[in-house]
Chains A and B, each alone.
Chain A
Amino acid sequence: MMEYFIGIDIGSSSIKTVLIDQNASIVNFSVVPTGYSFNKNSENALLQLLSERDLKISDIKSIVSTGYGRKLFKLAQKNISEITANAKGAYIISKLKIKLKTIINIGGQDSKIIIIDDSGKVQNFFMNDKCAAGTGRFLEMVSRNLEIDIENFGNIHFQHHGTPLSINNTCAVFAESEIISLLAEGHNKSGIISGVHHSIAKRISIMANRIGIEDSVLFDGGTALNKGMVAALEDELLKKIYVPEHPQITTALGAAIIAKENDESN
C-alpha cells in the first residue's frame, strides 16, 4: 500500500501543490492562481491534483501548508514557514546535482536569500518585503505597461545587445514612471525589459552582499522560469546559477517532504 503526502504553498500570486509518495518521488503537482478566496482555491487545487491520480483525500497520510495563506488552510495538519520549506525542497531537489549553499527566491510579493548548512538546515536568511521593486510583482507591472506577456520576457531580454538600460528607482511605483519616460525617449521594449531584469538583479545582489553568499547558488520561485532574469542575476552576482526544472514548486515540495518526515518521526 502506497503512502502519500501533500505540500501546499499558498503564495501571494499562486498556489503550488505537490503530491509525493513514501519514496519522496513527485506523483503530481499543480500551479494555480491564488485569487481572492484562496482557501477555497487551495482546497480545489488539492482535490483536482488527487482526482488526476484517482486518489481521495483519505489516501493522504499528512498535509503541510506553507506560504502566506498557510495558517488559514484547514485541511493541513501542520503549517511551516516558507523559508524552512523552501530550504528543504531546494536541498532535496538539487542534492544529486550541486552542493547547495545559497537559495535565491523571487516571489510575488517578496524576495529572499536563504543560506543553508551541509544538512540542508536554514543557517541564515534575508527577506525583502518592504518594497515591490525586487519582486515578481514588479515584472507583472512592467508586463502591463509594455503589453507583453511575462512568458515572453526571457526571449525579448536576449534581443537587446549592449549595456542594459538603467532603471535606478528603488520603488516600483516610481520605477514605473521611469519606464514610461524611457518609452517616451524612444527606447525599445527589449532594452527596457533587460533593464528591468538587471534592476531586480542589482537589488538581489545588494542583499546577497549583505548576507554573504556562497556557491552553489540555486534560483527558484516562478520568476526563475524567466531566462532573462536568470542571465541578469548571473551577471550581477558574477556566479553560475542553478535553476531546477520546476522552480515554482520547490517550496511546496519542501512542505510535502516535511509532512513525510514528521509522519516518520511520530
Chain B
Amino acid sequence: MTKEVSDKLQELKIPELKSSLTSKLKNEVYKAISEIKTTFQDSPEGMKYFLNRYEDLIDDQNKDYKNKKIIATNCIYVPEELIYASGAIPVRICNGFYALDQAGANYLPAKACPLVRSTIGMIDNNYYPFGAEPLMVVNPSSCDQKKKMGEIQTKSNIPIYLLETPPVKDSDDAREYWLKSIIRFKSILEKTSRQKITKSKLKSAINKIYLAQNEFRRFNNLRKNAGIISGTEAITVINTYFFDDIESWTTHLNLLNNELEKKIQIKKQLNSTDKPRIILTGSPSIFPNIKIPLLIEKHGGIVVNDDFCSSTRFLYDTIAVDEWNMYDMIPAIAERYLKPSTCPNLSPNKDRGRKLIETIKEFNANGVVYQSLAGCHLFEIESLNIISLLRQSGIPVLYIEVDYSPENTGQIITRLEAFLESLT
C-alpha cells in the first residue's frame, strides 16, 4: 500500500483491520479503487460508473438481486445466453478477493490455485453480489481444481451443477460431447428456473449479449490508441460485467467509448505513447486483484491488452446464427464457447500462441508479461511452450508467478522494472 493510499484510507475513515469477512472485502475494494484513483489521475469521466459498481457490490444494504432468479457461474465456458433465456441472471463468481482466498484455504490444499480457493470461499460464506441467493452454481469441468472443488461439502446448500467440458476441441467426438452437454444444461436450467427456454427468448438473450459484446469490441479497438485508457482501468471496466445488469453495463460502456473517441479526436492522451506497451497473458487478474497490471503501469509500462478469460477472451467472440431456430441456435452457442477457446485446459492448444502473436501485432506491443497464479498448474505448464514460441518470434516476455497476497511486491517490482528497462 502506497503512502497516498493509506492517507486516502485515513481520509475515508475505513478501518484497516476488522475481523469480519465483509469488512476485509470492503477494505480490498476501497484499496483497489483508491489505488486506481491516485495512479490514474486523468481517468475518463465514464470510469466513475464502473468504480461505483464495486462500491455497490460491497454495500451490504444493496439487495438488488435479493428476490431475483440468479445463476452463479464459475468460468468462461458457461453460456450466459441460455441463462438469460431461462429468465435468470448470470453472475460470475470466480473472483480476486484475498480474504475469500484465505477463507477457501479451509477446504483446499495450500498449493491450490487462489482463484479456485476464492471461489469456494465465496460459496462457503454465501457472499454473493447484491444479496443474491443463487438457484445453483454452474461449475465447469474445465480445470481439475474447479472440478474437484465442486464436490466439496461446504456450509452452503446451493446445488453445484457440473457443466461437462471436453479436454479437446478439434475432434468430432469432443464437439458432439460438448453439444450434448449444452443441451443437457439447457434442460437443467429450464427445471431450475422453472421457465422454458423458447425460441424467441433465446433469440433475445443472444441479441442482448451481442449488444454488450459490440460495445466491448469498440472499447477493445479504442485501446489500440495506447494511453487512451490504462490497462488496469480497462480490466476493471470489463470485470464489472461479471455481476452488473447487462443493459446498464452496455449503456455505460457506450458512454465511456464515446468519451474515449472524443479524446482521440482532440488527440488528448492519458499517457505518453513512448512507454513500453505490454500484453498480459496467463491466469486472469480479476478485481480487486489488479496487482500486476497496476504495478506494470505504476513502473513505466502500459497494458494495451490481455488474453484473460475474465476480460478480453470473456467477451470477444460472438455467436454466429444462420437461422433463428432452436436447432441452429443451440449448436451455434456450443460452437461459440468451444471453438474460440484458448484455455490451457485444451490439448493441443496451438490457437493460444497464434492468437497471442496476432494481438501483439495488432496492438503494436513491445513485450508480454505472462502471469501464473501460484498453483494454477495449467497456465504454469503451458508457459514453457508459449514463452519459447514468443522468443522464437523475437518478442520479449517476462514470466511472473503471483498469488493474491496484497503486499510483498518488492521482488515483483524489481523484475518488472528490469523487464521494462530492457524494452526501452
CB < 8 Å: which of A84, A122, A124, A129 contacts B411?
Answer: A129
Please indicate the chain B residues that have their CB under 8 angstroms from the CB of A40 in the complex.
none
CB < 8 Å: which of B391, B410, B421 contacts A80?
Answer: B421
Alpha-carbon separation in the docked complex, A129 to B418 (Å): 15
Whether the Cβ atoms of B410 and A83 lie closer than 8 Å is: no
B44 near A: Cβ within 8 Å? Answer: no
User: Given that A68-B414, A110-B411 are contacting pairs, would A124 and B421 also be in contact in the complex, using a CB cutoff of 8 Å?
Assistant: no
Whether the Cβ atoms of A68 and B410 lie closer than 8 Å is: yes
Whether the Cβ atoms of A82 and B414 lie closer than 8 Å is: yes
Please indicate the chain B residues that have their CB under 8 angstroms from the CB of A41 in the complex.
none
User: Given that A81-B417, A83-B415, A127-B415 are contacting pairs, would A122 and B410 also be in contact in the complex, using a CB cutoff of 8 Å?
Assistant: no
The total of chain B residues at the interface (CB under 8 A) is: 12
The secondary structure that dominates the B interface is helix
B406 near A: Cβ within 8 Å? Answer: no
Whether the Cβ atoms of A127 and B414 lie closer than 8 Å is: yes
* CB-based nearest B residue for A127: B415
Please indicate the chain A residues that have their CB under 8 angstroms from the CB of B417 in the complex.
80-81, 83-84
Question: By CB atoms of chain B within 10 A, which of A81, A110, A123, A125 has the most?
Answer: A81
Q: Please classify how large the interface on chain A is, using the bins under 10, 10 to 19, 20 to 34, 35 or more.
A: 10 to 19
Please indicate the chain A residues that have their CB under 8 angstroms from the CB of B414 in the complex.
68, 81-83, 127
Chain B 409-424: CB-based contact to A (< 8 A → 1; otherwise 0): 0110011011101100
Whether the Cβ atoms of B415 and A84 lie closer than 8 Å is: no
Whether the Cβ atoms of B418 and A83 lie closer than 8 Å is: yes
Alpha-carbon separation in the docked complex, A121 to B422 (Å): 7
User: Given that A124-B396, A127-B415 are contacting pairs, would A84 and B410 also be in contact in the complex, using a CB cutoff of 8 Å?
Assistant: no
* CB-based nearest B residue for A69: B410
Alpha-carbon separation in the docked complex, A80 to B411 (Å): 13
Please indicate the chain A residues that have their CB under 8 angstroms from the CB of B411 in the complex.
110, 127, 129
Per the 8 Å Cβ criterion, residues 73-130 of A in contact with B are: 80-84, 110, 121-125, 127, 129-130
Whether the Cβ atoms of B415 and A122 lie closer than 8 Å is: no
CB < 8 Å: which of A84, A110, A127, A130 contacts B422?
Answer: A84
Please indicate the chain B residues that have their CB under 8 angstroms from the CB of A82 in the complex.
414, 418
Alpha-carbon separation in the docked complex, A166 to B401 (Å): 29
Please indicate the chain B residues that have their CB under 8 angstroms from the CB of A81 in the complex.
414-415, 417-418, 421
Alpha-carbon separation in the docked complex, A129 to B391 (Å): 23
Whether the Cβ atoms of B396 and A125 lie closer than 8 Å is: no
Alpha-carbon separation in the docked complex, A124 to B392 (Å): 13
Could you tell me the distance in whole angstroms from the C-beta of B369 to the nearest C-beta in chain A?
13
* CB-based nearest B residue for A130: B401
Alpha-carbon separation in the docked complex, A80 to B421 (Å): 8
Per the 8 Å Cβ criterion, residues 365-424 of B in contact with A are: 391, 396, 401, 410-411, 414-415, 417-419, 421-422
Could you tell me the distance in whole angstroms from the C-beta of B105 to the nearest C-beta in chain A?
18
Could you tell me the distance in whole angstroms from the C-beta of B138 to the nearest C-beta in chain A?
35
Could you tell me the distance in whole angstroms from the C-beta of B170 to the nearest C-beta in chain A?
29
Please indicate the chain B residues that have their CB under 8 angstroms from the CB of A121 in the complex.
422
Could you tell me the distance in whole angstroms from the C-beta of A245 to the nearest C-beta in chain B?
25
Could you tell me the distance in whole angstroms from the C-beta of A232 to the nearest C-beta in chain B?
25
Whether the Cβ atoms of A84 and B418 lie closer than 8 Å is: yes
Give 20 A-B pairs besides A84-B421, A122-B421 with Cβ atoms closer than 8 angstroms.
Answer: A68-B410, A68-B414, A80-B417, A80-B421, A81-B421, A82-B414, A82-B418, A83-B415, A83-B421, A83-B422, A84-B417, A84-B422, A110-B411, A122-B418, A123-B396, A124-B396, A125-B415, A125-B418, A127-B414, A127-B415
Q: Which chain B residues have a beta carbon within 8 Å of chain A's beta carbons?
A: 391, 396, 401, 410-411, 414-415, 417-419, 421-422
What are 13 A-B contacts with C-beta separation under 8 Å? A82-B414, A82-B418, A83-B414, A84-B422, A122-B421, A123-B422, A124-B396, A125-B415, A125-B418, A127-B411, A127-B415, A129-B411, A130-B401
